[in-house]
Amino acid sequence: MHSAGEFYNPWRLFIGCIIPNAISRSTELSSTAKLVFGKLCQYAGQNGQAYPSYKTLAGDVGVERRQAIRAVKELVDYGLIKPVGRKKGDGGFTSNIYAFLWHQTFSDDGLTDPGDKNDTRGGVTNVTTPQCHKRHHLVSDMSPKENHTRESNSETTTTEEIRLLLSGTPLSKISEKEVRILIKRHGNERVMQAADIAAEKWRRERKEIKNPGGYLQTFCVNLVVPEWYEPPHVRAANAEAAAERKRAEDDKHEELKKAEAQESKERDDYWHSLSEADQNKFIEDEKNSSPIGKFIPEIGVVALAKSKAWGCRKQMITNTGATIEPSP
């Protein structure tokens, strides 16, 4: 164990994310975006996809959640990643899936074999540009059998993603076999988009679908993107923005409640600081200020008297330019 301030050798000591030199040298990306890219690489699974939440990413790189959202948008706009919204069983959204896109900056940096690697715990290697851990690579040296296994896993993942898009709708009755047949006929992206549009259309119209498989097949053949349609990552971003606004409103409401509670305490403290004669004067004034004042219950009259006394106090302070000292 090392003590604070001691010299140490970092070689093979740390485990962490890898930020490729091509990314770290970029003048078009913020430092936060570079860190977030490194963490996404670290989270990526064997299918080359990662799905940490904004909260997780923010905690991992030591920034606020809003900064993590902006950093992800930077990476999307720069063309390094592509977000795909993930749906829950109730049709709502959970954290995005992030797929990695090969960027020209990697090729410009001399990277031709994504299978080469470097590790933060390794020594000196022949690789000039560090990349993500081997399990994060999109291309690798695999045997035909391993490649076949990987392709099967990828197909299964795509099928699951499509069925997830259909969840919570009558289209969820479509079997995995039917989905695979559609993928072979029309390709992954077309089926995925058709499935999402079909599911969103049902959520808007709630019309009966007697033959889900045939219905989706028709969408795949005659795919037309409606004007109202928003892709999953846009809907997820909108939902995220709406949640952010609600959090801001809740925070504002909470601050207002605290301010009201503080003023109520100060109002009560000021009332109790008055002499009994002054309190009675305010109470009598309230009773006599209205024809029905004498018929108001005593507790109501006292509450009105407190408010009037506090109002007079604030007006006096406003006129003299003094400030109200908060109660201890």
pLDDT band at 321, cuts 50/70/90?
low
Over residues 3-58, the pLDDT tens digits come to 788 888 887 777 788 899 889 988 999 999 999 999 999 888 777 778 888 888 99
Over residues 184-211, the pLDDT tens digits come to 999 888 998 999 999 999 999 999 999 9
pLDDT band at 327, cuts 50/70/90?
very low
| pLDDT (0 to 100) of residue 131 | 39
Model confidence pTM above 0.75: no
Over residues 57-82, the pLDDT tens digits come to 999 999 998 899 999 999 999 999 98
| pLDDT (0 to 100) of residue 155 | 54
Maximum average pLDDT range among 3-17, 79-93, 235-249: 235-249
* Of 141 and 47, the one with more pLDDT: 47
What is the arithmetic mean of pLDDT over 270-292?
A: 86
Give the up-direction half-sphere exposure of residue 179: CA atoms within 13 A in the CB hemisphere.
24
Determine which of 48-52, 155-159, 296-300 has the lowest per-residue pLDDT on average: 155-159
| pLDDT (0 to 100) of residue 215 | 93
The one-character DSSP state at 48 is: S
What is the arithmetic mean of pLDDT over 111-127?
A: 44
pLDDT band at 152, cuts 50/70/90?
very low
37 vs 243: CA distance, rounded Å: 24
Percent above pLDDT 90 for the chain: 34
* Of 96 and 201, the one with more pLDDT: 201
What is the average pLDDT value for the chain, to the nearest integer? 79
pLDDT band at 270, cuts 50/70/90?
very high
Residue 10's region, left for phi above 0, alpha for psi from -120 to 50, else beta, is: alpha
| pLDDT (0 to 100) of residue 97 | 83
249 vs 12: CA distance, rounded Å: 47
